C-alpha cells in the first residue's frame, strides 16, 4: 500500500506524539508491568519454550495468543530480559506502530469513500491524537498491535471487494490470520470483512474472494493449532482460556471484570505526585494494588487442585464453577452483562486507570462523536460503514457476554475515529440505485460473424442522475456501489 505524500504529516504526528508520551511518562521504568507476555517472553529466551506458570502449574501453555509474546521476546533479546532498556525499545517500536495505525485508518477511509480526502485526514488525525491510543503505546500489551491489524484487515476487505482480485483476498486472509494470532476474539471481524467484499462484488461474485479470505486465514493459524494439539493432546485453535476468562467475569465474587475493587486503590491514587509522570506512577501503583480476581477468589487448595490437572481441564473446571455460581442466583448473569455493556462503552469502574479525568473525557468524547457521526452521515454512509459497525458490534457483544476490560475497547477505537470523522467532514454517501437493463445500440453494418449486442447492465444513481456503468469482469471498478460524495 503506497503512502501518499500528504499522509506523511499524519503518520509522523502519530509517531511523535507516542514517542513523547513514552519519554515523559517513563512507563518502561515501572516494575512488574509486563504481566503474562513478559513471563512467556522470558521463558522463550531461557529455552523453556512458550510456557508460563498458570493456575498452580508451570509448563507449555496456550494461555496467550503467540504473536505479541514473540515480539516482546525480540525486545528482550536485544535489550535484556525485562530491563528498562528492552521495554523502552519495545515501546518505541509501538510508537512506530502507531504511525502504521494512522496510515491504515487513512487507507480504510479512502476505501470507504475515495472521493473524500478530508474524511480520511480527519480520521487519521483522530487516530494519531486520541489519548487512549497514544497511552497504549506505553504498555506491554497486545491492544495497539490488535488495533492496527484489525483496521488493516477491514481496510483490506474493502479493497478486495473493490478490485475482486484474488491477491487482495489472500492479503486480507493473511492479515486476518495475524490478527487472530494476536487476539482470537478479533477473528469476529470475518463477517464484517465478508460484507465489505459483498458491497463491492455483489453476493454471487463475492463468494470466491470471501472463500479465499477464510481459507488463507485458516492456513495461517494452522501451524499454531498443530502445535497446540501436540502440546495439549486435543484441539485448541489459538488459546485455552475461555473457561478461565468466563469464570473471572461471572463467578460469585466478580464485578464483571478480572479486577478487584479495594478501598486501598483510592489511597494509592491520592498518593500521586504532580506532573504527568507522577500521575502515571500513581495509576500504576493503584493498578498493582487492585490486583486480579484470582487473588481473592482462589484459595491455596484451589491452586493445588487446578495445578494437578492439564491446562484445558483447569479452564473447564473454572467454567463449570462459574455456571454453578450463576445458576445459584438467577438473573445475576443478565445484570453482569448489562454492567459489562456499560463498562465497555463508558468506563470500567474496576480499573483504576479509567478514573483519570483525561481518560474519561477523551473516551466519552470519541464515543459521542462516533455515535453522532454515524447517525448524521446519512443512509448511504451508514450502509457503506456497515461492515465496520458489524465488526465492532460482534466484538462488543462477545465481551458483554463474557468479560470486559478497558484494553478490550482499544482495537475498536480506530473504527470509531472513522465514524466520528464522517460526521465532522459532513460526508454523504448515496445508496446504489436499482439495476437497469439497456439494449446495446444496433449498427447498420456488422463485421462477418458478429452477433446482436447483448444487453448492458447499469446502475442508476440514487440521486436520479445518469446510470452508472457496471464493472468489468476483472473487477477493476466497483459493480454494486459507486460512492457519490458531497462535502
What confidence tens digit (pLDDT) does each residue in 392-441 have? 999 999 999 999 998 999 999 999 999 999 888 766 665 554 433 344 45
Mean pLDDT value across residues 118-145: 94
Mean pLDDT of 465-479: 39
pLDDT at residue number 133: 96
Burial of 15 (0-12, 13-18, 19+ CB in 10 A): buried
237 or 354, higher pLDDT: 237
What integer is the mean pLDDT of 96-109?
Answer: 96
Determine the average pLDDT of the residues in 442-465.
Answer: 43
What share of the chain has pLDDT > 70, as a percent? 86
pLDDT of 12-30, one tens digit each? Answer: 999 999 999 999 999 999 8
What does the mean pLDDT of the chain come to?
A: 86
The pTM of the full predicted model, rounded to 2 decimals, is: 0.86
| Least confidently predicted of 110-114, 182-186, 209-213 | 110-114
pLDDT at 259: 86
**How many Å apart are CA 241 and CA 371, to the nearest integer?**
33
H or E segment and range at residue 58: strand 57-60
The pLDDT tens digits for 275-298 are 888 888 888 888 877 778 888 899
Q: pLDDT tier at 272 (50, 70, 90 boundaries)?
A: low
pLDDT of 261 over the 90 cut: no
Strands 57-60, 456-461: parallel, antiparallel or unpaired by DSSP? unpaired
pLDDT over threshold 90, residue 186:
yes
Rg (CA), the chain: 25
Give the C-alpha distances (Å, rounded to integers) separating 242 from 56, 167, 319. 17, 34, 8
Amino acid at each position: 500500500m503506497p503512502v501518499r505524500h500528504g499522509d506523511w504529516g499524519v503518520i509522523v504526528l502519530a509517531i511523535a506524539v507516542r514517542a513523547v508520551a513514552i519519554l515523559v511518562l517513563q512507563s518502561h521504568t515501572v516494575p512488574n508491568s509486563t504481566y503474562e507476555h513478559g513471563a512467556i517472553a522470558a521463558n522463550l529466551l531461557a529455552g523453556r519454550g512458550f510456557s508460563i506458570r498458570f493456575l498452580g502449574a508451570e509448563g507449555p501453555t496456550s494461555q496467550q495468543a503467540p504473536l505479541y509474546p514473540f515480539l516482546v521476546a525480540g525486545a528482550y533479546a536485544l535489550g535484556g530480559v525485562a530491563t528498562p532498556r528492552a521495554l523502552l525499545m519495545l515501546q518505541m517500536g509501538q510508537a512506530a506502530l502507531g504511525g502504521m495505525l494512522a496510515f491504515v485508518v487513512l487507507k480504510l477511509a479512502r476505501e470507504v469513500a475515495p472521493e473524500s480526502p478530508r474524511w480520511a485526514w480527519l480520521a487519521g488525525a483522530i487516530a494519531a491524537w486520541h489519548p487512549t491510543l497514544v497511552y497504549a503505546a506505553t504498555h506491554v500489551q497486545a491492544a495497539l498491535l490488535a488495533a492496527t491489524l484489525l483496521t488493516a484487515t477491514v481496510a483490506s476487505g474493502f479493497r478486495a471487494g473493490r478490485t475482486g482480485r484474488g491477491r487482495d483476498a489472500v492479503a486480507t486472509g493473511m492479515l486476518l490470520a495475524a490478527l487472530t494470532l494476536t487476539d482470537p476474539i478479533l477473528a469476529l471481524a470475518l463477517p464484517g470483512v465478508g460484507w465489505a467484499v459483498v458491497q463491492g462484488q455483489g453476493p454471487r461474485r463475492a463468494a470466491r474472494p470471501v472463500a479465499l479470505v477464510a481459507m488463507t486465514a485458516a492456513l495461517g493459524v494452522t501451524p499454531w493449532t498443530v502445535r497446540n494439539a501436540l502440546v495439549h493432546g486435543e484441539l485448541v485453535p489459538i488459546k485455552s482460556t475461555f473457561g478461565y476468562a468466563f469464570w473471572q467475569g461471572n463467578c460469585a465474587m466478580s464485578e464483571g471484570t478480572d479486577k478487584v475493587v479495594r478501598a486501598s486503590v483510592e489511597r494509592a491514587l491520592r498518593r500521586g505526585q504532580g506532573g504527568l509522570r507522577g500521575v502515571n506512577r500513581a495509576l500504576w501503583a493503584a493498578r498493582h494494588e487492585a490486583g486480579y480476581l484470582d487473588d481473592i477468589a482462589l484459595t491455596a487448595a484451589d491452586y493445588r487442585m487446578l495445578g494437578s490437572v492439564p491446562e484445558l481441564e483447569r479452564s473447564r473446571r473454572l467454567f463449570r464453577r462459574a455456571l454453578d455460581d450463576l445458576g445459584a442466583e438467577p438473573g445475576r448473569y443478565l445484570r453482569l452483562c448489562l454492567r459489562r455493556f456499560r463498562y465497555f462503552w463508558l468506563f470500567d469502574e474496576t480499573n483504576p486507570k479509567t478514573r483519570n479525568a483525561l481518560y474519561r473525557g477523551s473516551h466519552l468524547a470519541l464515543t459521542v462523536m462516533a455515535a453522532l457521526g454515524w447517525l448524521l452521515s446519512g443512509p448511504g454512509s451508514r450502509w457503506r460503514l456497515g461492515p465496520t459497525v458489524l465488526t465492532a458490534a460482534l466484538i462488543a457483544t462477545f465481551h458483554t457476554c463474557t468479560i470486559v476490560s478497558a484494553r478490550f475497547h482499544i482495537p475498536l477505537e480506530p473504527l470509531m475515529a472513522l465514524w466520528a470523522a464522517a460526521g465532522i467532514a459532513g460526508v454523504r454517501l448515496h445508496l446504489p440505485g436499482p439495476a437497469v437493463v439497456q439494449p446495446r445500440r444496433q449498427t447498420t453494418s456488422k463485421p462477418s460473424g458478429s452477433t446482436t449486442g447483448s444487453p448492458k447492465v447499469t446502475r442508476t444513481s440514487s440521486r436520479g442522475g445518469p446510470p452508472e456503468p457496471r464493472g468489468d469482469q476483472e473487477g477493476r471498478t466497483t459493480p454494486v456501489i459507486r460512492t457519490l460524495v458531497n462535502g
